[in-house]
Amino acid sequence: MAQENVTHIHEFILLGFPATPELQALLFVIFLAVYLLTVTENLVITVLIITNPQLHKPMYFFLGHLAFLEACYISVTVPKLLVSFVVRSKSISFAGCMAQLYFFVALVCTECALLAVLALDRCVAICTPLHYALTMSHRACRQLATGSWLLGFLIALLKVFFISQLSFCGPRVINHFYCDISPLLNLACSERRLAELVDFISALLIL
C-alpha cells in the first residue's frame, strides 16, 4: 500500500484580519489604544485595591485578582496581533502557538474559578451574614484565590498536553488572530477524539 504523503508542519499562519496596508495601519492604532487602555485601567484597579486599606475586603480582593487576570488575558493575544500589523508576518511557531494556547486557556479557566469563588463570597454574605467574617477570613480568601489560579493552570496543562500530541499537516492556516482550541483541532490530521474528550470533560469541570 502506498504511504500517504503527509508533511508535518512546524508553524502556523494566523489569518487575523485580512486588510489593505492602510486599513492595517488604522487597525494597529485602534487595537494598540484599546490594549494600552485595558491593561492600564486593570492594573490601576489592582494597585488601588492593594494600597487602599478600605478595600481590603473579600469582594474587592477577588475583584483585584480578576482585574489583574484581565490585564494578563489581553496581553496573551493582542501583542502578537499588533506585531502582525507592523511586520506583515502572520506566522507563529508550533511552540509559540502551544504557549499562547496554554496561557489563554489557563487564564480562561482561572477566570471561571474566580467568578465561582466571588459568587460563593456573595452567597455567604447574603445567606449567613453573622458568620461571614469568620467564613471568608483573609486566610480563606488567599487559599481560594491560590486554588483558583492553580486549578486554571493545571486544567490548561491537561488540555494543551493532549492537543500538542496531535499531528498537524496542512493547511496550516488558522482562521483566527490567536491560537485557539477549535481551529487547531480542525487542522489535526491524526486521531483527535481523545483530545476532544479531555477538552469536553475539563470544560464541564471548570464550568
Read off the CATH number of the domain in which 89 is found: 1.20.1070.10
In a domain, 1, yes or no: no
In a domain, 131, yes or no: yes
The tens digit of pLDDT for each residue in 46-66 reads: 999 999 999 899 999 999 999
Record the cell numbers describing residue 142, joined without a space.
Answer: 488567599
- Residue 126, domain member (yes or no): yes
Residue 3, domain member (yes or no): no
> For residue 3, what pLDDT is reported?
42
Q: Which pLDDT score is estimated for 181?
A: 86
pLDDT value, residue 66: 96
Q: Quick check: is 77 in a domain? A: yes
Closest CA to 164 of 80, 101, 104: 101
In a domain, 2, yes or no: no
pLDDT digits (tens, 9 = 90+) for 15-52: 877 767 778 888 899 999 999 999 999 999 999 999 99
Question: Regarding predicted confidence, which is higher, 144 or 84?
Answer: 144
pLDDT of residue 8: 62
Q: What pLDDT is stored for residue 48 in this prediction? A: 95
DSSP code per residue over 82-139: HHHHHH---EEEHHHHHHHHHHHHHHHHHHHHHHHHHHHHHHHHHH-GGGHHHHT-HH
pLDDT, tens digit, 9 for 90 and up, residues 117-174: 999 999 999 999 888 888 899 999 999 999 999 999 999 999 999 998 888 876 788 8
6, part of any domain: no
Asked if the model's pLDDT at residue 192 lies above 70, the reply is yes
Q: Is residue 201, in this structure, part of any structural domain at all?
A: yes
The tally of domains found in the chain comes to 1
Domain that holds residue 121: 11-206
